[in-house]
Amino acid sequence: MEPAELTSDVDVLVVGAGVTGIYQLYRVRGAGFSVTLLEAGDGVGGTWYWNRYPGARFDSESYTYAYLFSRELFDEWVWREHFAEQPETERYLNHVVDRFALRDHMRFGARVTQAVYDEASGSWIVDASDGTRHRARFLIAATGVLSVLYFPDVPGREDFQGVSHHTGRWPSTPVDFVGKRVAVIGTGSSGVQVVPAIAADVESLTVYQRTANWCTPLNNAPITPDEQARLRADFDAIRATLDASPSGFLHVPHDRATFEDSEEERRAFYEKMWSSPGFAKLISHYTDLLVDPAANAQWCEFLVDKIRTIVKDPATAERLIPKGHRFGEHRPPFVTGYYEVFNRPNVSLVDLKQTPIVRVTSTGIETADGVEEVDIIVWATGFDFGTGALARMGIRGRDGVALEEHWADGPRTFLGIQTTRFPNFFFPGGPHAAAGNNPRYNGDQADFITETLTHVRESGFDTIEVGAAAEEKWTSMVDRGAMSPGSFGESSYYFGTNIPGKPRKYLLNSAGRPRLFKEIARVVETDYAAFRLSRAPERQDGRTPPE
Ligand code: NAP
């Protein structure tokens, strides 16, 4: 295929200016490749650009989520809070892009509509919604796992005449909640952040909950000048810990199991966990929390007590208590004042399992109990996780095979970065990627991809495609691991369960970072034996590979 007119003709085309795409661009530029980055949005940030709803903030510590490749960057950026709010994160990412002169390589408002592999030239021809066409040897889709919105198929959704927004496409102009009647549908991590953030402003707030979640406090706080100084002094140690951590956090694993402690000691430990920051409640918890149902039940009992103590209305408290899944079976949300909000006279909770939504009307939401008139509907109903974006980009590999058909039974990958039949195509931070603090794992993948492209270039080849055996081994490892005790449950969206008709396949890397590191080391030791390196029939340059 010979493109008519190219806007750019580069070594590497990166898609997505989120945390992973920015870093990938930085790395491949640093390795001497020419690069264009296409971004659908009008600004930098990816998830942190689109999810600007009230209350949106990190639930990983700011300095552990941030980039660690530059000490100067770490030193000069002052995070205001341990868990930064969305505007601060968006400012940070813009700062990084400008500081490392990356913006000139980015095209905004350019959503990829089609990406076709041209076998003859061993390159990708990529079309974007702004009418531009690009050619690149390597295509790297850093399109994220939470970028395609999910709206439930509720009759009448389009008929609503009020204001309606999905948390994942929040407008950049402020939404005025003051004195408004508001419905929030969905109580995952996004919904439970929005609810307390708007409750004081609104006239009334109705929370539509289908599945109650095990919410625990985020325990956010401003970073004091002393803490700031300590963070800077500890940069090397922080980086070393994060680099070695299986989940990419600073939290230290505990060394005791639940029933090694007396009831009294357990109670004290649970209180300590309740007051600990964010994901410490998973990582620094009793070692058997996720693997021993009896241990998990003890912690859940403690949480039930907390909910019943905080929420004054017993009937509301009962509805807020999760039934049918253990703590950690779903991705746990971390909250600030969520349960407390239900003590406000203007906030009510609808249990959709008892009274499902019948339809959205032009003026409100109808359940079996009648119509609730509202001015604003917030859809906090989640995303087509993992494969959503990649399946919608018109990606066509060898012989025109469509990625979404290649993955019709679920994603098949090696290291969560490549799949067979799609040479020179990589997807860091996509399916089979992180279970933990995303930027750390996605950064590992971006580093390895950069090394791989460099290896291909230095070997004198120009195409690289993972072999079927490596893909099969990695994919079955992921699928097997997903069934092991302690992993997320099949009712979690990590299995695609929230999307009707989506294959029930695990979408994360169930073995975590240590396995990724091990396999990367093996790839390097075996001189990339898992991959097939070749020359494209029509070479674009004059290099000859070694015999
Ligand atoms: P989510 O966890 O998928 O939650 C979606 C919510 O919508 C669930 O409560 C779900 O109920 C509900 N829902 C779906 N279909 C529905 C229907 N037909 N009727 C009624 N309710 C329905 O999505 P999310 O809250 O946007 O979070 C997604 C992920 O984004 C999180 O797990 C996290 O990884 C990330 N996130 C992170 C942060 C942060 O603090 N850094 C903040 C927000 C999000 P069911 O549970 O019954 O399906």
pLDDT tens readout for residues 200-251: 999 999 999 999 999 999 999 999 999 999 999 999 999 999 998 999 999 9
pLDDT reported for residue 451:
98
β-strand partners of 35: 12
Residue 539 confidence (pLDDT) = 66
Distance 190 CA to ligand 1 centre (A): 6
Please give the helix or strand (H or E) that residue 139 lies within, else none. Answer: strand 133-141
- Ligand 1 and 489: CB distance under 6 A: no
Task: Measure 192 CA to ligand 1 centroid, in angstroms.
Answer: 9
In this structure, the strands spanning 35-38 and 8-15 are: parallel
The two structure tokens encoding residue 334: 């971390």
| 3-class secondary structure per residue, 254-312 | CCCCHHHCCHHHHHHHHHHHHCCCCCHHHHCCCCCCCCCHHHHHHHHHHHHHHHHHHCC
Mutation to probe ligand 1, out of 189, 334, 357 (largest number of atoms < 8 A from CB):
189
By most ligand atoms within 8 Å of CB, the mutation choice from 86, 441, 498 for ligand 1 is 498
Interval 98-131: pLDDT, tens = 999 999 999 999 999 999 999 999 999 999 999 9
Give the ligand 1 atom nearest the CA of 352.
20
Ligand 1 pocket, 498 CB below 6 A? yes
Residue closest to 484 by CA, chosen among 455, 500, 506, 465:
506
pLDDT in tens, the chain (547 residues): 444 699 999 999 999 999 999 999 999 999 999 999 999 999 999 999 999 999 999 999 999 999 999 999 999 999 999 999 999 999 999 999 999 999 999 999 999 999 999 999 999 999 999 999 999 999 999 999 999 999 999 999 999 999 999 999 999 999 999 999 999 999 999 999 999 999 999 999 999 999 999 999 999 999 999 999 999 999 999 999 999 899 999 999 999 999 999 999 999 999 999 999 999 999 999 999 999 999 999 999 999 999 999 999 999 999 999 999 999 999 999 999 999 999 999 999 999 999 999 999 999 999 999 999 999 999 999 999 999 999 999 999 999 999 999 999 999 999 999 999 999 999 999 999 877 899 999 999 999 999 999 999 999 999 999 999 999 999 999 998 888 877 888 888 999 999 999 999 999 988 889 899 999 999 999 999 999 999 988 764 544 444 4
Q: How far apart are CA 225 and CA 348, in angstroms?
A: 40
DSSP 351-404: ETTTS-EEEE-SSEEEETTEEEE-SEEEE---B-TTTTTGGGS-EE-GGG-BHH
Separation CA 327–CA 302 (nearest Å): 11
Is residue 181 a contact partner of residue 376, using CB atoms and an 8 Å limit? Answer: yes
Given a contact cutoff of 8 angstroms between Cβ atoms, the answer to whether 160 and 301 are in contact is no
Ligand 1 pocket member 187 (CB < 6 A): yes
> Given the CA of residue 153, which atom of ligand 1 is nearest to it?
18
Per-residue model confidence (pLDDT) at position 481 = 85
Q: Is the minimum distance from the CB of 59 to ligand 1 under 6 angstroms?
A: yes
Atom 26 of ligand 1, residue of closest alpha carbon = 382
Sign of dihedral through CA atoms 221, 223, 225, 231? positive
- What's the angle, vertex CA 538, arms to CA 534 and CA 542, rounded to 5? 80
Helix/strand/coil for 494: helix
Q: Are 25 and 123 in contact (CB under 8 A)?
A: no
Question: 462 and 535 in contact (C-beta within 8 Å)?
Answer: yes
Is the CB of residue 43 below 6 angstroms from any atom belonging to ligand 1? no
Encoding tokens for residue 100? 């490392």
Ligand 1 pocket check for 188: Cβ under 6 Å: yes
Within 10 angstroms of residue 491's Cβ, the number of other Cβ atoms is 14
